[in-house]
Amino acid sequence: MAEAPVTTVERFLQWASVEAGLQPLSVAAYGRDLRAFLRWQSAPTPFRSVGGAQIRAFLASEHARGLDPRTVARRLTALRLVYRLIGSEEPCLDPTRTVPRPSLRAPLPKLLTRVEIARLLALPTPATPLGLRERLIVEWLYGTGCRVSELADQPLSDIDRELRVARCLGKGGKERLLLLNPPTMTALDDWLRSGRPRLAGTESGDSLLLSKSGRPLERTRLFGMIRQRALRAAIVRPVSPHMLRHSFATHLLEGGADLRVVQELLGHASLATTQVYTHVETSRLRAAHQRFHPRA
């Protein structure tokens, strides 16, 4: 008897988390994708009985209802991974093989100008534990280019203050070193000397960032902190932590950094992912050309 589709999804999520080692956010997203596929069916069909035409119809319906193309593409990835799991256990025809992956144009990353970054970093910050924490967060995100989840998970024991580096665990459990520049080190030293000890408690563990209650700071809190700081710095458009990462990469390339160096600093597995920042630089140059050249 064929396994119930819901059971297959639950088993897949456990496999993706434990055996495949995917990040929790990716596992959760794939779970939503697969459940959306089951809801779309008039009657849930065992995965072994699904055909390529059915998957194509599902993706087309998701696109028709206005779903973001990147989400539609991820839906297909989730289904492909399910069939990879099923096929690893016993022979099974993979219907996703006949479904072409949607071609996506990577959107240009949103970033802050150098002037906006300067305002964000120069904003006066009170010498309180929460003020010192906020200053470290901004300096760390822009100074290292790390992801917001990586900063939230950063252990104290993985920071070498003498060498001015931090070991970071990125996507897929891939390790890399973050380089801590002088302003980041100053903010770190202030936080560790006068901020963190005043918040630390029995539940603090080895976390670099702590909440007011002394627990490890949740990544979702960092979004609100960055938004509020940007508003205080008179930056009216919405600002997210990831925009600091984009700004870090773009400003490095503007300064003449090699693309492969930026790739390594960002922790990108593929150079193609990093190349989106060259498009940002090209767009900036084109805008300047059209504005100032007499024949543009």
Concerning whether 147 is annotated as a catalytic residue, the answer is yes
Which pLDDT value is given to residue 286?
59
**Which of 75, 133, 229, 245 is an active site residue?**
245
> What's the CATH number for 5-98?
1.10.150.130
Concerning whether 171 is annotated as a catalytic residue, the answer is yes
| Residues forming CATH 1.10.150.130 domain(s) in the chain | 5-98
Residue 81 pLDDT > 80, yes or no? yes
Residue 131 pLDDT > 80, yes or no? yes
R_g of the chain, CA atoms, integer Å: 23
> Which CATH architecture is the domain 114-290 placed in?
Orthogonal Bundle (1.10)
Residues 70-84 have a mean pLDDT of 92
Concerning whether 174 is annotated as a catalytic residue, the answer is no
Which pLDDT value is given to residue 294?
61
**Which of 135, 246, 251, 268 is an active site residue?**
268
Residue 18 pLDDT > 60, yes or no? yes
**Which of 147, 229, 246, 251 is an active site residue?**
147
Please give the Cα distance from 131 to 125 (Å, whole number).
Answer: 5
pTM above 0.85, yes or no: no
Concerning whether 245 is annotated as a catalytic residue, the answer is yes
Concerning whether 65 is annotated as a catalytic residue, the answer is no
Residue 1 pLDDT > 50, yes or no? no
| Residues forming CATH 1.10.443.10 domain(s) in the chain | 114-290
Please give the Cα distance from 175 to 294 (Å, whole number).
Answer: 49
Give pLDDT tens digits for 220-269: 999 999 999 999 999 989 999 999 999 999 898 888 888 888 888 998 87
Sign of CA dihedral 192, 170, 77, 64: positive
Q: What is the DSSP letter of 153?
A: T
Residue 22 pLDDT > 80, yes or no? yes
Which pLDDT value is given to residue 170?
85
Give pLDDT tens digits for 190-207: 999 999 999 999 999 999
**Which of 63, 227, 242, 279 is an active site residue?**
242
**Which of 11, 74, 119, 171 is an active site residue?**
171
* DSSP H or E run through 251: helix 241-254
- Cα dist from 292 to 113, 168, 279, 281, whole Å: 20, 43, 20, 17
Residue 282 pLDDT > 50, yes or no? yes
Concerning whether 268 is annotated as a catalytic residue, the answer is yes
Residues 51-76 have a mean pLDDT of 90
Confidence of residue 6 (pLDDT cuts 50, 70, 90): confident
